[in-house]
Amino acid sequence: MSYGFLDIAVTPSVRAAQVAMGVEGTWTDFKGNRAFDRFTDNEAAFIADRDSFYMATVSETGWPYVQHRGGPRGFVKLVDDRTLAIPDYRGNRQYISVGNLAASDRAALILMDYTRRARLKIYAHIEAVALDADPALTARVTVPDYKAKMERILLLRLQAFDWNCPQHITPRFTEPEVAEAVKPLRDRLAQLESENAGLRARLAAEGDR
């Protein structure tokens, strides 16, 4: 049976660590099928709701580099059930990830939902695509009214994904999420302030009689 993500992740040294910790049977005796090599509607909805992710690449020297990438909510686009298209916006212009991908197209991504304490891990091959190479794709990933300059598109070919447990994920909330959560309180406060203002005005009017 397949356990796609671990089929890639578990190397001999990882297996040795599992043996040393006494958990090798947890994975070697796995009987299910978790190929997870195609995005389902569940992953599609999760990805569409994200406004950032973390991406790891490796240089020719073997050093890993982890980068945070962000954009407007939904900026990561699902092209099909095995492909994502990501606008690569201009940042500090070090181009470490872009350079690493030119040396090795393998990458690992983590997409976080801190509010719901969910974490999606992805192994993929990534190709950097020039904006003029595929106008239709460029139009698809362009976010109207977003001011950041898009320099290229990162085309991600899925190898395998997996979901992590929520343990140790501290819930965090975005400004819009907080605003939505406190809106009933703000509305109620505005109502009470209006009522209080009306009562004060009435008392003042009665005092002038």
- Check pLDDT > 60 for residue 20: yes
Region 179-204 average pLDDT: 92
- Check pLDDT > 60 for residue 59: yes
Q: How many other C-beta atoms lie within 10 A of the C-beta of residue 4?
A: 19
Q: In the chain, how long is the greatest CA-to-CA distance?
A: 92
Task: Name the DSSP letter for residue 205.
Answer: H
How far apart are the C-alpha atoms of 51 and 166, rounded to whole Å? 19
At residue 31 the predicted structure's pLDDT band, cuts being 50, 70 and 90, is low
pTM for this entry: 0.85
How far apart are the C-alpha atoms of 19 and 33, rounded to whole Å? 22
At residue 141 the predicted structure's pLDDT band, cuts being 50, 70 and 90, is very high
